[in-house]
Structure 1
Amino acid sequence: MGENKVPDIDQYRKAWAKFATGVSVILSKDQEGDVHGMAANGITSVSLDPMLVLVCIDHSRNTYKRIKETGRFSINILNHNQTAVAEYYARRPEKRIGDPPCDLVLRENGSAKIPDCLTFIDCNVHEEIIQGDHTIYIGKVIDITIEEGKPLLFYESMFNELAHNGKTPNWS
């Protein structure tokens, strides 16, 4: 059995890099109508009834401020062809060059959607929980759009594509 020493941040990041995730972009529009976004893999379904999702947002991100102001956000789960979109939104706004690599779709209700994303989930903030340097937002789902395609994956700090092995899980 190992020693009971506290791991450092680098070790913690490396540990989570071993967990393959999908890639999403969280978008929120500010009071002036400008859309702010960030790449995220800290998302999950919370409940089916009611339909609730969870996103974890760093307090230093512009998106955090916008969600806090407006009480709304959208989750855009990216397809395997949207690496450029993921890279753009993974950078902090001051390090981004030019406009986003796609034209955002502004919906009638005011939310923003990335075109051709696999899944779009529009949410109102249901609850917020502050933990460390992040806020966990629980969102109540108000709209969903689903498209066909393969997901963009993130594993060991690199973008990847899904490789099907043709096996259906045996759940019994």
Structure 2
Amino acid sequence: MDSRGDKKFRSYICAGILQELLGMFARELENPTVTPSKVKYTSIIENYLLENYRKNIEIEQLAKLINRSQSYTISIFKELMGQSPIRYIHQLRIIEACNLLLNTDMTIVAISDYLGYYDPSYFSRMFKKLTAMSPKEFALYGQQVEVATLFS
């Protein structure tokens, strides 16, 4: 085959290669991989929240933990955990509240204070928002409810 014959098909070959590359690129965009640094940062934040969920925690503190901006901190946590750090804190607190309501004789006000909510009515609103029950209802009927199912 002479060189003129090869030139005739080059545009088709190039177009085919380009189309394949575009398809691979589109597939990568559709299923982005999580970088190890995002996993590391999220793990640092999650561990901090697990150890300190009863304290008043600001996004600024979490951002300083990983030396990143507040918006990046929220973004990566949400990307990997499926919720914002603040919602995660509330969820940890309400899970502990469920435990305390079922296994202690602490009052709702005492539980609210213990978990870092300084306004019992706000605690009750958050409890109901996350469990679809008031703390009082949960104290009465909580033995019949699988706590893990409340947060799925």
Q: TM-score, normalised by structure 1?
A: 0.24
Larger radius of gyration: 2
Q: TM-score, normalised by structure 2?
A: 0.26
Which protein has the bigger helix share?
A: 2
Which protein has the bigger strand share?
A: 1
